Chain A
Amino acid sequence: MIASFLEAYTAPRREIPRRVYLTVSALVGLGGLLAWCALSYGGLVRSDFLPTPVAVLQAGIDMARDGSLLVNTTASVTEIMSGFIIASLISVPLGILMGSFKIVEAAVEPVTNFVRYLPVSALIPLLILWVGIGIEEKIAVIFIGTFFQQLILIADVSRGVSQDLLDVSYTLGADRRTVVTRVLIPATMPGVMDTLRVTLGWAWTYLVVAELVAGNKGLGYLILNASRGLFTDQIFLGIMVIGLLGLISDQLFKLIRDWLLPWASNP
């Protein structure tokens, strides 16, 4: 029994039955929930350190009722989407050019490689000075957090387009301009979509940093504010909503990719 189990499930990369896969996922999820229940209800951890699942749910219901959940979520989604969309609108074309034209790479890459290692939080004082403490500051944090990473990743996607694919286009009569617009750009699209999907996830991780400064709404603000009063149930709720929204946006991206690029093979 154990021998056959090891035989079946210890081979690298071997597919396992869907049923087994789902069972394992469910068991781990359930195990986590059970451990949480045991720790909180069992009184092993104080409730101001670890709230009970029901308390978190109750906090959610309360905040949904008084409308603050919606207000905070809307504020955060607006900030994330604004920062992310502005970053993407610039990084996609610039990244494609950077990966395929050495002259653009020479101009952009050194600066990018410097900036992308700077912790965004270290730039906040400057951002306050330059753009103030309003929503612009939040959008700027999200922008800086995602833009430079996107740029490097999209340049790599562009660099990765097969030389033979470009060359065959020339032998079919395409000129440089046509090769860029009709071959290079479409060829980068699956990689661009994957990059956007990954970096949107990263954008969510900057939310709390973005709302650290002079916030009065948003999920990050909600978490920070709750921590001042040791309302751990609200902290948990904020974290879970961020996680859930991240998950939803990720799945949406997956759907959009399949819908826009049905010809692309899956990563």
Chain B
Amino acid sequence: MGKLRIDNVVLRFTPRMGRPVTALDRISLEVDENEFSVIVGPSGCGKSSLLRLVAGLIQPTAGAIYLDGKLVTRPGKDRGMVFQSYTLFPWLTVQDNLEFGLKLGGMAAEERAAVARRFIAEVGLEGFERAYPKQLSGGMMQRVALARALANDPDILLMDEPFGALDSQTRSLMQELLLKIWEHSHKTVLFITHDIDEAILLGDRVHVMTARPGRIKAEVAIDIPRPRSVGVLTADEFIVIKRRIMALIHEEAVRAMS
């Protein structure tokens, strides 16, 4: 049984003016322990809402989500999250941003300083401990956000298009960094993106989502050996998988148009 189990989740909401919208329709999927799972889908398919449901930030209309067999009812530090938007606390230094969650957890000052330093080093930002977020570039801020989530040692890491706002060179670097970090932590990850390349590059498994209402259309195992680097983007096996996923998405787009 999976570490994270999403069971027949439905999300429906009624806009202030208009008819009820079904954003997510009977979504079921599982993420195994130590698995890097990716959900890929077009904008507006409800994939971000799905991640917020897992985080416990919103509640499903029907269905249930379990983490380690326990029903998710509210947000908690067992589910760390990295957002697409910049979410560092601007009034805290890099060091204090990393210590924020640890402090809430009641960790002793010395220990949390050490943990923070370790993860700052992990994302390659030594020397920026005392910098404020406004002094950092977009890529650096997302590295801090990643380090902050990891420092809190969640059971699962939820990533909502974390590199979506970055330029393509920085995005490649961030993908490589994430691959490297994942290689020696094997943290359970649920990662959301609309970028098929990114999905295949990072994931052990890719769930393909359709739009309106959001459904899981297919599940594709990515058996490209690890460790991976951006070099695999041009490998034959990569292209084969990409073609398959593109066909699935295209099929859906055609269906939606007709």
Interface residues in chain A, defined as those with a beta carbon under 8 Å from any beta carbon in chain B = 162, 164-165, 167-174, 178, 183, 186-187, 189, 261-265
Scan residues 61-102 of chain B and give those whose CB is less than 8 A from a CB of chain A: 75-77, 79-81, 83, 85, 87, 89-92, 100-101
Residues of A within 8 A of B117 (CB): none
Q: Which residue of B lies closest to A264 (CB)?
A: B90
Residues of B within 8 A of A174 (CB): 101, 104
The answer to whether B79 and A164 touch across the interface, beta carbons within 8 angstroms, is no
> How long is the Cα–Cα vector from A183 to B89 in the complex, in angstroms?
8
The answer to whether B148 and A172 touch across the interface, beta carbons within 8 angstroms, is yes
The answer to whether A171 and B75 touch across the interface, beta carbons within 8 angstroms, is yes
Contact partner of A171 among B81, B85, B92, B134, CB < 8 A? B81
Contact partner of B132 among A170, A187, A263, CB < 8 A? A263
Query: How many Å from the CB of A183 to the closest CB on chain B?
Result: 7
The answer to whether A170 and B100 touch across the interface, beta carbons within 8 angstroms, is no
A-B contact pairs, 10 of them (CB 8 A): A167-B83, A168-B145, A171-B76, A171-B80, A172-B148, A178-B104, A183-B89, A187-B89, A263-B133, A265-B134
Residues of A within 8 A of B80 (CB): 171-172
Q: Which residue of B lies closest to A168 (CB)?
A: B87
> How long is the Cα–Cα vector from A167 to B105 in the complex, in angstroms?
17
Residues of A within 8 A of B77 (CB): 171-173
Residues of B within 8 A of A189 (CB): 91
Beyond A173-B105, A186-B91, A263-B90, whether A168 also contacts B152 by CB under 8 A is no
> How long is the Cα–Cα vector from A170 to B76 in the complex, in angstroms?
6
**In the complex, which range does the number of interface residues on chain B fall in?**
20 to 34
The answer to whether A187 and B90 touch across the interface, beta carbons within 8 angstroms, is yes
Q: Which residue of B lies closest to A172 (CB)?
A: B101
Beyond A170-B57, A172-B100, A172-B104, whether A162 also contacts B152 by CB under 8 A is no
Residues of A within 8 A of B154 (CB): 171
Residues of B within 8 A of A178 (CB): 104
Query: How many Å from the CB of A172 to the closest CB on chain B?
Result: 4
> How long is the Cα–Cα vector from A186 to B97 in the complex, in angstroms?
13
Most buried by B among A162, A168, A171, A264: A171
> How long is the Cα–Cα vector from A173 to B100 in the complex, in angstroms?
9
Query: How many Å from the CB of B252 to the closest CB on chain A?
Result: 28
The answer to whether B89 and A165 touch across the interface, beta carbons within 8 angstroms, is yes
The answer to whether A164 and B85 touch across the interface, beta carbons within 8 angstroms, is yes
Query: How many Å from the CB of A131 to the closest CB on chain B?
Result: 40
The answer to whether B134 and A263 touch across the interface, beta carbons within 8 angstroms, is yes
> How long is the Cα–Cα vector from A164 to B90 in the complex, in angstroms?
13
Beyond A164-B83, A263-B132, A265-B134, whether A171 also contacts B55 by CB under 8 A is yes
> How long is the Cα–Cα vector from A178 to B57 in the complex, in angstroms?
16
> How long is the Cα–Cα vector from A31 to B90 in the complex, in angstroms?
44
Query: How many Å from the CB of B15 to the closest CB on chain A?
Result: 17
Query: How many Å from the CB of A16 to the closest CB on chain B?
Result: 25
> How long is the Cα–Cα vector from A167 to B92 in the complex, in angstroms?
17
> How long is the Cα–Cα vector from A167 to B149 in the complex, in angstroms?
13
Given contacts A173-B104, A178-B104, A186-B91, 11 further A-B pairs with CB under 8 A are A162-B85, A165-B87, A167-B75, A167-B81, A167-B87, A169-B100, A171-B79, A171-B149, A172-B152, A173-B77, A183-B89
Q: Which residue of B lies closest to A261 (CB)?
A: B91
Q: Which residue of B lies closest to A171 (CB)?
A: B81
The answer to whether A167 and B89 touch across the interface, beta carbons within 8 angstroms, is no
Most buried by B among A168, A172, A187: A172
The answer to whether A173 and B152 touch across the interface, beta carbons within 8 angstroms, is yes
Residues of B within 8 A of A186 (CB): 89, 91
Q: Which residue of B lies closest to A167 (CB)?
A: B57
Residues of A within 8 A of B133 (CB): 263
Residues of B within 8 A of A262 (CB): 132
Residues of B within 8 A of A265 (CB): 90, 134
Scan residues 128-151 of chain B and give those whose CB is less than 8 A from a CB of chain A: 132-134, 145, 148-149
- Shortest 3 CB-CB distances between A and B: which pairs? A173-B77, A172-B101, A170-B75
> How long is the Cα–Cα vector from A164 to B160 in the complex, in angstroms?
11
> How long is the Cα–Cα vector from A171 to B77 in the complex, in angstroms?
5
Residues of A within 8 A of B75 (CB): 167, 170-171
Scan residues 109-141 of chain B and give those whose CB is less than 8 A from a CB of chain A: 132-134
Residues of A within 8 A of B56 (CB): 170
Residues of A within 8 A of B105 (CB): 173
> How long is the Cα–Cα vector from A169 to B85 in the complex, in angstroms?
14
Could you mark each residue 28-42 of chain B with 1 if its beta carbon is under 8 Å from any beta carbon of chain A, else 0? 000000000000000
Query: How many Å from the CB of A258 to the closest CB on chain B?
Result: 13
Query: How many Å from the CB of B50 to the closest CB on chain A?
Result: 15
Residues of B within 8 A of A164 (CB): 83, 85, 87
> How long is the Cα–Cα vector from A260 to B134 in the complex, in angstroms?
16
Q: Which residue of A lies closest to B160 (CB)?
A: A164
